[in-house]
Structure 1
Amino acid sequence: MDFRHGQRDEPEINLIPFIDVLLVILIFLMLTTTFSQATALQVALPHAEAEAPPRRPAEIVVAVAADGRVAVETQVLEQRGVAALAQALRAAAQGRPDALLVIQADAAATHQSVIDVLDAARQAGLVQITFATQRSGGTP
């Protein structure tokens, strides 16, 4: 009988199956993640039954909050008033003569706030205007 106390093999951890599992999880998360349009203001859009039109590449999004604050694209305007808004819209439409103005007004926003945006759009020379809504089922 040979009872040798020779070298023992050290146990080693194989990392390749671990990396494979992590890659599968990463691919799953990438495929199931939804991307939403980020705006500077949180607005609760009014409800409508119409289908949403396809997104056009030359859009200028204006968000109007319930308290009257306005954001052009992702920048909240510090100054209130039609003149400041018209200037911001002119800057956003620079180089995009056929830009579509999308007004995302909160359902609780005042009528005057929306009219101010429309007046500023007229002053900025934007003629294609639409309003953003959400479906009545509650999904945007």
Structure 2
Amino acid sequence: MKFRRKARENVDIGLAPLIDVVFILLLFFVVTTTFTRETQLQVDLPEAASGTPPQDAVNKQLEVVIDVDGSFTLNGKTLIKHDLSTLMAALSKESGGDTSLPMIISADGKTPHQAVITAMDAAGKLGFAQLRITTVEAQPEP
């Protein structure tokens, strides 16, 4: 006995619905993704009870950020070495020889004291006259 086989139907995958699903998945991942700034350092500034608030922003200024481990970042660019000569070279390059620019040192509260002194020494040797150290205003005790 020979049974007759049914003719197979061709299975087609609809391309338009597939593109719609992929597009919706792409939108879902774009909307739910959070972007973090990995290049920014986490610096906990020390507290001070007295001080003056910052004045209006100057067009160009030099900001040296010192991390907990003593690494330097100048205007958002991390320096490779943590020594005086590298910091002086970066400061002179960034300032273009203009020592009248204000220089701001933002050091973490747990930064080694030597790293802060190195930054201040580099500023002094290059002739920067406007030097500021950032702090956080201390909260009054209840």
Instruction: Check the 8 A contact 1:47/1:134 in 2, yes or no.
Output: yes
Structure 2 counterpart of 1:56, which letter? A
Alignment partner, residue 66 of structure 1: 68
Is the Cα–Cα contact under 8 Å of residues 41 and 65 in structure 1 kept in the other structure? yes
- Please tell me whether the aligned partners of residues 102 and 129 of structure 1 are also in contact (alpha carbons under 8 angstroms): yes
Q: 1:105 aligns to what?
A: 107
* Larger mean Cα displacement after TM superposition, 126-135 or 89-98: 89-98
Residue deviations 1:41-63, cap 9 Å, x none? 22100112324121331321100
C-alpha spacing 1:95/1:84, structure 2 compared with 1 (3 Å): closer
Q: What secondary structure is seen at the aligned counterpart in 2 of 1:120?
A: helix
Following TM superposition, the consecutive aligned residue runs of length 4 or more in structure 1 with deviations greater than 4 angstroms are: none
Q: How does 1:5-44 map to 2 (within 5 A)?
A: 40-44=40-44
Larger radius of gyration: 2
Kept in 1: contact 2:99–2:129 (CA 8 A): no
SS at match of 2:93: helix
TM-score by length of 1: 0.64
Question: TM-score, length-normalised on structure 2?
Answer: 0.64
- In the alignment, the residues of structure 1 paired with residue 125 and residue 81 of structure 2 have an alpha-carbon distance, to the nearest angstrom, of 17
C-alpha distance in 1, partners of 2:92/2:109? Answer: 26
Contact 1:40 1:75 in 2 (8 A): no
Q: For residue 96 of structure 2, what is the aligned residue in structure 1?
A: 94
- What is the match of residue 54 of structure 2? 53
Q: Structure 2, unaligned stretches of length 5 or more?
A: 1-38
- Find the counterpart in structure 2 of residue 4 from structure 1: none
What is the number of equivalent residue pairs in this alignment? 100
Of 73-82 and 51-60, deviating more is 51-60
Partners of 1:123 and 1:106 in 2: CA distance: 23
Instruction: Output the amino acid matched with 1:72.
Output: L
Structure 1 unpaired stretches of 5+? 1-38
Question: CA offset at residue 132 of structure 1?
Answer: 0.4
Match for residue 87 of structure 2 among 85, 88, 92: 85
Shift of 1:91: 1.2
